[in-house]
Structure 1
Amino acid sequence: MSENDGPELGDTSLDASADRGDAAIGFDQLFSLLASARRRHALYCLAAATASSTLTTAELADRLAVLEARATDDRPSRTEIELTLRHSHLPKLDDADVIDYDPEQSVVLYRGGRRADRWIDRVMDAELATTPD
């Protein structure tokens, strides 16, 4: 793969995530992360991505724009979404070890964990559930 083909998982610091254990995130920290709608929606998008696949921040912003439009009937600016992801939400999720974020290469890898996965699934099902008429 040439330098211009994009990042490979093995070529980034994100590869270290494969060796990490499933350290349980505390409830206070997890619920704080889930309190922000944009962070929650980003987690839904990342958790739905194929296991061990990275997304660029641009790909995540595209997916998030579609999800936010569906969830809120609002058309958020894709540029604004990507800026808030890069400067606020992704660093917080990375600090919590829920994702691995490489800002230099603009790639994100979902790490989750058993507790995080369970609560993300529960919240996503409740928030995005459609009710029959």
Structure 2
Amino acid sequence: MIPLLNSPESLTAFGEGADAVDTALDLLANQRRRGVLEYLEESGGSAPLTELAVEIAAQEAGAEPNAISDHGDVSARDRRAVRISLHHTHIPKLANADVVDYDTATETVTLRERGRTLLSRRESVQGPPR
């Protein structure tokens, strides 16, 4: 059963104590959000939304790079579906928690210090990436 919340902000408040743990776990619970954070960290902290969508779609498809494309055989439809999901759900949730900045004019996502903190919390629970 999902408890009722007093405000939507309580879903993404990134404070101290038990709420911070709940928020961190909520943000990291989704594979796409984890993928966004990991990719931003690996790519220097910033990436266009379209690039993130292509990367996440390739990860989800398990696509291996080939001689023609760095993203294997990921269809345009899959890339578009991931982009829409990132734009309307995952990036806003991360931005509301001050984990990333999202510039809507340039559609650029930038990892914030709280995002790096969130990644370090993930590693302390799951261990370093393989």
Structure with bigger RCO (C-alpha 8 Å, 6+ apart): 1
Q: Are 1:117 and 2:112 counterparts?
A: no
Q: 1:124 to 1:43 in 2, by over 3 A?
A: farther
CA RMSD of aligned residues (A): 2.7
Deviations 1:46-92 (A, max 9, x none): 121214xx211001111212222239xxx670000000000000000
The structural deviation recorded for 1:115 is: 3.1
Q: Could you tell me which residue of structure 2 aligns to residue 88 of structure 1? A: 89
What is the aligned counterpart of 1:41 among 26, 35, 40?
Answer: 35
Q: Could you tell me which residue of structure 2 aligns to residue 15 of structure 1? A: none
The structural deviation recorded for 1:124 is: 7.7
Aligned residue pairs: how many? Answer: 100
1:44–1:124 contact (8 Å) kept in structure 2: no
The structural deviation recorded for 1:119 is: 2.1
Using the size of structure 2 for normalisation, the TM-score is: 0.64
Q: Could you tell me which residue of structure 2 aligns to residue 56 of structure 1? A: 48
Q: 1:49 to 1:99 in 2, by over 3 A?
A: same
Distance in 2 separating the partners of 1:82 and 1:100: 17
Q: Could you tell me which residue of structure 2 aligns to residue 105 of structure 1? A: 106
User: 1:84 corresponds to which letter in structure 2?
Assistant: S
Percent identity over the alignment is 32
Unaligned runs of 5+ in 2: 1-14, 64-73
Using the size of structure 1 for normalisation, the TM-score is: 0.63
Q: 1:99 to 1:124 in 2, by over 3 A?
A: farther
